[in-house]
Amino acid sequence: MEEEISENRPAPLDFRTLFELESPYVLRTLRRLGVTERDVEDMAHEVFVAVHRELPKYDRARPIRPWLFAFCFRIASHYRRKHQRETVADMTGDVVDPTDAPDTLLDRERKRRLVLRALEEIELDRRAVFVLHEIDGVTCETIAVSLEIPLGTVYSRLRLAREDFTAKMRRLQARKVLE
């Protein structure tokens, strides 16, 4: 199981340690922001190039993951502008636990794909706030600082993203029942 870093723990001092500890997070975040599986490692490389360049300016009093998310968001945003056509089917899963029963694995994978599809249909600015808050557990205040947007905008985007996500999930689940 991958090692989790608390949102509030200061960043490691050296780039190598940061890269080793946070690569899985960056890869997951890029997938959640719509980067296809075939491009996710290249985009992660771009994220860490930018992180390496900016690491001396990083304020260690700030949480590391929201700071990294901001890089992921900018890279994914640029990627999406450049690659307008994307397929959710391209996104493969994380490493699976071989001790789980096959039906459990299938159900988990089906749910994961459903969530990724719903996320894919949410506008990127809203999705970024939704992923940071609902999936990564980051506070709205920290999101505002990390994405450099007003706190009111964070709350507005989060509310709209929740509505979008709920509607998309209902639509996708209803379509699945009809198939």
Reported confidence tier of residue 32, pLDDT bands at 50, 70, 90: very high
Reported confidence tier of residue 14, pLDDT bands at 50, 70, 90: confident
**Which sequence spans correspond to the domains of the chain?**
1-87, 100-179
C-alpha to C-alpha distances, 160 to 119, 125, 128, 135, 165, nearest whole angstrom: 13, 10, 12, 16, 9
Q: List, in sequence order, the alpha helices (H) in the chain.
A: 15-32, 37-54, 64-82, 102-120, 124-130, 140-147, 151-178
Distance of CA 54 to the CA centre of its chain: 20
- What kind of fold does domain 1-87 have according to CATH? Rna Polymerase Sigma Factor; Chain: A (1.10.1740)
**Is the predicted pLDDT of residue 149 greater than 60, yes or no?**
yes
Lowest mean pLDDT among 26-30, 32-36, 110-114: 110-114
Which tokens sit at 19? 């890269």
Average pLDDT over residues 53-67: 90
C-alpha to C-alpha distances, 142 to 64, 132, 151, nearest whole angstrom: 11, 9, 9
- pLDDT digit string (tens) for 89-139? 344 444 445 566 777 777 788 888 888 889 988 999 999 999 999 999 999
Reported confidence tier of residue 174, pLDDT bands at 50, 70, 90: confident
Question: Could you give the CA distance from residue 14 to residue 162 in angstroms, rounded to a whole number?
Answer: 37
Reported confidence tier of residue 81, pLDDT bands at 50, 70, 90: confident
Asked if 61 and 40 touch (Cβ cutoff 8 Å), the reply is no
pTM: 0.70
Amino acid 178: pLDDT? 55
Amino acid 39: pLDDT? 93
Q: Which residue has the tokens 């200061």?
A: 10
Reported confidence tier of residue 158, pLDDT bands at 50, 70, 90: very high
Going by the DSSP 8-state scheme, the letter that residue 131 receives in this structure is I
- What kind of fold does domain 100-179 have according to CATH? Arc Repressor Mutant, subunit A (1.10.10)
Amino acid 116: pLDDT? 85
**Is the predicted pLDDT of residue 60 greater than 90, yes or no?**
no
Amino acid 179: pLDDT? 53
Give one DSSP letter per residue of 10-41, joined into a string. Answer: PPPSSHHHHHHHHHHHHHHHHHHTT--HHHHH
Cβ partners under 8 Å of residue 110, min gap 6: none
